[in-house]
Amino acid sequence: MQFDFESLIDRLLGISQQILQAITDPFVIFQAIIIAGIYLISVLLARKTEPGLEDKARSIKDSPGLLRTVIVLLRRLKWVYFVILIGAFWSIFTNIDWPGTYVLYVSLLFSFVWLLMAVLTQSIRNRTIRSFIAFSAWFYVALVILGIDSNVSDLLDAIGFSIGTFRLSLLLAIKIVVTMGIGLWASVSFSDFIDRRLHRNDEFTPGLSILLGKIIRITLIVVAAVIAISAIGIDLTVLSVLTGAIGVGIGFGLQKVVSNFISGLIILADRSIKPGDTISLGETFGWIRELRARFISVVTRDGREYLIPNEDFITREVINWSFSDELVRLDVNFGVSYDSNPHQVSELAIVAVLGVDRVVANNPPACWLTSFGDSSLDFVLRFWIRDPQAGLTNIRGKVLLALWDIFKENGIAIPYPHRQLVFKNSPVLPLPESD
Q: What is the DSSP string of 207-257?
A: HHHHHHHHHHHHHHHHHHHHHHHHHHT--TTTTHHHHHHHHHHHHHHTHHH
Q: Residue 33 in 3-state DSSP? A: helix
26 φ/ψ angles, rounded to the nearest 5 degrees: -65, -35
Q: Residue 306 in 3-state DSSP? A: strand
Summary count for the chain: helices (H), strands (E)? 14, 10
Q: Give the pLDDT band (50/70/90) at residue 303.
A: confident
Contact status, residue 410 vs residue 348, Cβ threshold 8 Å? yes
Nearest to 382 by CA among 413, 358, 349: 349
> Residue length, the chain?
435
| Residue 190 confidence (pLDDT) | 79
pLDDT digits (tens, 9 = 90+) for 36-48: 898 899 889 888 8
Residue 294 above 50 pLDDT? Answer: yes
| Residue 211 confidence (pLDDT) | 66
Q: Give the pLDDT band (50/70/90) at residue 97.
A: confident
Considering only the top CATH level, what class is 328-409?
alpha beta
Listed range (35-44, 78-87, 129-138, 239-248) with the worst mean pLDDT: 239-248
Q: Give the pLDDT band (50/70/90) at residue 182.
A: confident
Contact status, residue 356 vs residue 397, Cβ threshold 8 Å? no
Listed range (71-75, 150-154, 171-175, 381-385) with the worst mean pLDDT: 150-154
| Residue 3 confidence (pLDDT) | 47
Stretch 420-433: mean pLDDT, rounded? 63
Stretch 270-283: mean pLDDT, rounded? 80
Give residue limits of the domains in the chain.
5-158, 169-253, 264-320, 328-409
Rounded-to-integer distance, Cα 225 and Cα 193, Å: 19
Stretch 284-310: mean pLDDT, rounded? 83
- Of 326 and 428, more confident: 326
Residue 1 above 50 pLDDT? Answer: no
Residue 52 above 90 pLDDT? Answer: no
Contact status, residue 345 vs residue 377, Cβ threshold 8 Å? yes
Stretch 290-317: mean pLDDT, rounded? 83
Listed range (15-19, 408-412, 420-424) with the worst mean pLDDT: 15-19
Contact status, residue 230 vs residue 237, Cβ threshold 8 Å? no
Nearest to 152 by CA among 11, 348, 329, 293: 11
Rounded-to-integer distance, Cα 220 and Cα 114, Å: 28
Task: Give the residues across from 380 on adjacent strands.
Answer: 333, 368
Considering only the top CATH level, what class is 169-253?
mainly alpha
| Residue 146 confidence (pLDDT) | 62
Residue 147 above 50 pLDDT? Answer: yes
Nearest to 31 by CA among 111, 88, 104, 110: 104
- Of 70 and 350, more confident: 350
Considering only the top CATH level, what class is 264-320?
mainly beta
pLDDT digits (tens, 9 = 90+) for 332-358: 999 999 999 999 999 999 999 999 988
Q: Report the percentage of the chain scoring pLDDT > 90.
A: 14
Q: Residue 154 in 3-state DSSP? A: helix
Mean pLDDT, rounded, of the chain: 77
Report how far Cα 81 is from the mean position of its chain's Cα atoms. 35
Cα separations in angstroms, 67 against 74, 208, 254: 10, 28, 39
Q: Give the pLDDT band (50/70/90) at residue 198.
A: confident
